[in-house]
Amino acid sequence: MLEGSILYQLKLAHQPGQVGKRPLNFGVYYKNTLVALCHALEDCILDSQSQPLVITAFQRGKWYLEEADRYAELAAKSQQVVIMAAPDAGFQEHPTSQRENVEIVSLKPSDPVGQEWHLMILAPTYSAMVLCQELLAEDYGIQGIPTQDLERKFYGFWTFEANLVQETVELAIAHLQPDNSALASRLTAQVAAIEQARMTAQPDDMGAIVGRIVDYLQTTHHDVGDHSTFSPVPTHAANLDTNLMSNEVQAFLRMAQLTDQADQLNPNAAAEVAALAEAMGQLLDLPVWQLNRLRLAGLLHRLAPLQQTESALTGSGVARYADSTTTIAPSCPLIPGAQVLRTMPQLRAIATIITHLPENWDGSGQPGQLAGDEIPLESRILGLVLEFQQHLSIARQAAIDESTPPALVALQACQQAQNQRWDPKLVETLALLVGGFQEGLSLPVSLPKISAGLWLVDSHCADDLLPEHFHS
């Protein structure tokens, strides 16, 4: 990582021990992944409710020339566009560069930002960022620098977190300050106005944004060939495809992360639910692949709160089947809460697990009125753990009776619904886990390293989990 670069400065600001700052997780991205990702994030500007401030770094002017026409369209929907690139003949004269709200910043040959690939989008309703730096020649190892341009590698990360985007934009402005103080002052004023407006603005639809990202990445899949089955022999095409798939998973995980952060009363719910579900699975002696699948479903469960979604079948409330007496259930993709996950076929099992969280052990639940072991095991575990964690969070905040531990209060609430709502054997397993807590067992709860989004690859996440007479 080049000293003095924007990525380097942001990493320094998030070193362990920095008050109010969490360490950042970095990954390696192929150029074809970054192209698809940036195009998706950029095109979301066209549908945004507000006009963003956009700051980009293109490395060299020739890369900007390839994107200049599309940036004219983006500039028409943006408050300000700042483009940083090493000077190349001709790009200053392109018509997009002449627009009033487009500023071209020529980087000096010694400027470390010239080796970076940045896209920062900051608006009251939509924020996103890609922050990467190209690997040095020695970083490629024995394989050497790739001969194909789209196989070039970059080190960094991407995010939807508005506060982190704003922090990085401010670092970029500080980088511009010595050579263009007037532009820096104007951008600082724009950032302040955006920050103020963000307090009352209604965010853009994150589900639609993530859907666009996954669609663009999947389109790029087709361009490099079908490598959905992972080969034991790594090829360039397979590596490119793996990187694309990893970022599709990352998109969902980052969306789930925002959902958690928006819940001020229970901001670590997904991470805690995932940890509890995995611990339950270990007590049940589930195989590693199933533990991974259970953990991923736990991390993503807040993406599809069925009780709050509009049903395509009834038009309101919890999703229900139009005719409860029919022997053939409609397709689960009609349940809108999990639909966003179904845009990625590899997450079919995850979508099914989350879709069937509201099922009851006695068959009175929704959406399929499944009963007993017909309900996918992970749905039964995750539903119980989710209920337990919600009661646990409430009990922690209430602390009415300090003589009764919050975990025991939460367990008792779940026990009251066993045999009707919950699988009684799983409630017994949960009681064992809570007993361990009372004996001093601690459960590590940590945020996942989102940039390592392929730990689920061998987790049977595309399996069909329902009985044969159901269609998912």
DSSP assignment string, 370-429: --GGGS-HHHHHHHHHHHHHHHHHHHHHH---TTS-HHHHHHHHHHTTBTTTB-HHHHHH
What crossing angle do the helices spanning 288-300 and 269-283 adopt, rounded to 10°? 160
The pLDDT of residue 190 is above 90: yes
188: nearest Cα among 53, 76, 49: 53
Q: Is 299 exposed, middle or buried (0-12, 13-18, 19+ CB in 10 A)?
A: buried
Q: What is the mean pLDDT of residues 33-53?
A: 91
| H or E segment and range at residue 28 | strand 27-30
- In the predicted structure, residue 309 carries a pLDDT above the cut 50: no
Q: Where does 231-317 show beta strands of DSSP type E? A: none
How many Cβ atoms are within 10 Å of 398's Cβ, its own excluded?
10
Average pLDDT, the chain: 79
Q: Where are the beta strands (DSSP E) in 61-200?
A: 80-86, 102-106, 116-122, 127-134, 153-159
Please give the share of the chain, as a percent, with pLDDT higher than 90.
33
H/E element, 215: helix 206-224
Structure tokens at 84: 């940083």
4-13, 17-26, 96-105, 141-150: the lowest-pLDDT one = 141-150
Q: Which pLDDT belongs to residue 307?
A: 34
Q: How many CB atoms lie within 10 A of CB 445?
A: 12
How far apart (Å, rounded) are the C-alpha atoms in residues 270 and 283? 20
Task: Please tell me the predicted confidence (pLDDT) of residue 339.
Answer: 64
* Domain 269-438: CATH architecture, name and number where available: Orthogonal Bundle (1.10)
What pLDDT score does 231 carry? 41
pLDDT bracket for residue 107 (50, 70, 90): confident
CB 7 within 8 A of CB 133: yes
DSSP element (H, E) containing 169: helix 162-176
Is the pLDDT at 308 greater than 70? The verdict is no
- In this structure, are residues 36 and 240 in contact, taking their beta carbons and an 8 Å threshold? no
Query: What is the C-alpha separation between 359 and 373, in angstroms, rounded?
Result: 11
Whether the per-residue pLDDT at 440 is higher than 90: the answer is no
* pLDDT at res. 21: 78
| Mean predicted confidence (pLDDT) in 82-92 | 74
Residue 157, pLDDT > 70, answer yes
What value does the mean pLDDT take over residues 10-14? 90
The residues of the chain that CATH labels 1.10.3210.10 are: 269-438
Residue-level pLDDT at 126? 93
pLDDT at 260: 72
CA distance 151 to 143: 12
CA dihedral of 169, 117, 11, 26, whole degrees rounded to 10: 130
pLDDT category at 401 given cuts 50, 70, 90 is: low
280: confidence class by pLDDT, cuts 50, 70, 90: very high
Between 304 and 363, name the one with better pLDDT. 363
What is the rounded distance in angstroms from the CA atom of residue 125 to the CA atom of residue 356?
Answer: 32
SS3 of residue 322 by DSSP = coil
Q: Return the SS3 of 85.
A: strand
Q: What is the pTM of this model?
A: 0.75
CA angle, residues 158, 161, 163, in degrees to nearest 5 = 120
Q: Indicate the pLDDT class of residue 170, thresholds 50, 70 and 90.
A: very high
Q: Mean pLDDT, to the nearest integer, of 147-154?
A: 75
- 186, 197 Cβ separation under 8 angstroms: no
Q: 22-40 burial, b if ≥16 CB within 10 A, otherwise e?
A: eebebbebbbbbbbbbbbb
pLDDT of residue 127: 94
CA distance 441 to 435: 9
Q: Is the pLDDT of residue 393 over 70?
A: yes
Does residue 218 or residue 406 have the better pLDDT? Answer: 406
Least confident of 32-36, 76-80, 134-138: 134-138
Residue 242 has pLDDT above 80, yes or no: no
pLDDT at 455 over 70: no
Q: 3-state DSSP call for residue 364?
A: coil
pLDDT at 314: 28
Burial class (CB in 10 A: 0-12, 13-18, 19+), 256: buried
Q: What is the mean pLDDT of residues 157-183?
A: 92
Name the least confident of 140-144, 154-158, 177-181: 140-144
